[in-house]
Amino acid sequence: MSAKKKQHVYSRSLDHAFLAVYNAYVFFIRFFRETFRGRMEFQEMVKQCYAIGNKSLLLISLTGFITGMVFTKQSRPSLAEFGATSWLPSLVAIAIVRALAALVTALISAGKIGSSIGAELGSMRVTEQIDAMEVSAVNPFKFLVVTRVLASTITIPILMFYCTLVSLMGAFLNVTLNEGTSFIAFFESAFEQITFLDIGTSVAKSVAYGFTIGIVGCYQGYNASKGTEGVGKAANSAVVISMFLIFIEEVIIVQVSNYFRV
């Protein structure tokens, strides 16, 4: 390939990248504009909250329980070397509340909910159902996008608290089988080192993760094209981009929370 052709290809790629960023920005701003304008589709939002929770509950239950049990099992040998197995409940609780619960919930939801939203809206776009809604004087953006983004933003923090509880129960089972610790003693020790800052940080994380999963899934699905191939691409992109942004948000929020923790 000649140097001129290479330059042309790079130029086109750069143009596409800037155009994608601009379209995402417009979509983002439109979401906030539509959210605070007109009547909220409350019934649809409640329906989406139920769908998101129902789809993720079983998977989060299994993953959370196994995460708590495995993390406890892996941490015991290190503490046992120093004769500090009594610190195990506190260590596990700190890890789960500060990081694992929110991250596990977000990653599972990104795979389960993000792909579902991307595929659903992508299917509606390529079959022209969204165009039909516009013709029938229904605001498809508010009905389809705003409700799903708000639903994921509300539901993910609730699922995060549930994942925290299930993970701690998995940790308790492992501890009580090995050390014979009682239920009350375990949870008293577990929450001894947990502060309101830890809980607030986890809530902030899960709200940010829920919004990211919802807005990315809706953006990919709402702007899908090229028939069934576009639907698959929208679902895949929703998962990949959501997970990538979740890890970036994790780093940023942890840095900010550590600033206040010092």
Confidence category of residue 190, pLDDT binned at 50, 70, 90 = confident
Q: Which long-range contacts (CB under 8 A, 24 or more apart) does 140-143 make?
A: 141/30, 141/31, 141/34, 141/222, 142/34, 142/38, 142/41, 143/41, 143/44
Confidence of residue 206 (pLDDT cuts 50, 70, 90): very high
Average pLDDT, the chain: 86
Residues 31-54 have a mean pLDDT of: 88
Identify the band that residue 60 occupies on the pLDDT scale cut at 50, 70 and 90.
very high
Which residue in the block uniquely carries the two structure tokens 């375990």? Answer: 186
Distance from C-alpha of 124 to C-alpha of 131, rounded to nearest angstrom: 9
CA-to-CA dists, residue 6 to 15, 116, 123, angstroms: 14, 38, 36
CA distance 56 to 48: 12
Confidence bin at 154 (pLDDT 50/70/90) = very high
CA dist 189 and 185 (Å) reads 6
pLDDT at 159 over 90: yes
pLDDT band at 2 (very low <50, low <70, confident <90, very high): low
C-alpha separations of 217 from 36, 66, 120, 224 in Å: 21, 28, 9, 11
Q: What is the DSSP string of 20-32?
A: HHHHHHHHHHHHH
Question: Which one has a higher pLDDT value, 14 or 206?
Answer: 206
